[in-house]
Structure 1
Amino acid sequence: MTKLLEQAVNKVKTLSDNEQNAIAALILEEIEDDFRWDKSFASSQDTLAKLAEEATEEINSK
């Protein structure tokens, strides 16, 4: 665990259970969002490459 994360966890420990749960839910939601973006981005590489190629061809043809 990084020092910054350790500091954050120590501060969160001083909060009420409800506040701790709210922060935990936010963190878990953020991690899940990052995972979904990574998965979505990884599965779209072929499409993005094709669009980039088409854009380059269009620019070069002008």
Structure 2
Amino acid sequence: MTKLLEKAFAEAAKLPEDEQVVLASRLLAELGAEDEFDRAIAGSAHRLAGMAAEAVAEHRAGLTKELDPDRL
């Protein structure tokens, strides 16, 4: 465990129990969401690669236009 995480847990331990429960729930939810995102990306890598190849092909064929940030 890193020193920073140790410090965070030490500070969290000073909180009242109900606040610790809320903090722990939020942390676990965040970690779960991160795992879910990683799985989703890993499961769609082939689709993302296909979309990237398609975009490059469209650009090379002159089917794209430069993005104007002022017109977003």
Aligned residues between the structures? 62
| Equivalences for residues 1-62 of structure 1 within 5 A | 1-62=1-62
Quote the offset at 1:26 in angstroms: 0.5
The root-mean-square deviation of aligned C-alpha atoms, in Å, is 0.5
Runs of 4+ residues deviating >6 angstroms: none
1:1-59: CA deviations, max 9, x gaps? 10000000000111111000000000000000000000000001010000000000010
TM-score, normalised to structure 2, is 0.84
TM-score, normalised to structure 1, is 0.97
Counting helix residues as a fraction of each chain, which structure ranks higher?
1
Please tell me whether Structure 1 or Structure 2 has the larger radius of gyration of its CA atoms.
2
Q: Which runs of 5+ in 2 are unaligned?
A: 63-72
For 1:41, the aligned partner's letter is I
Q: Percent identity?
A: 35
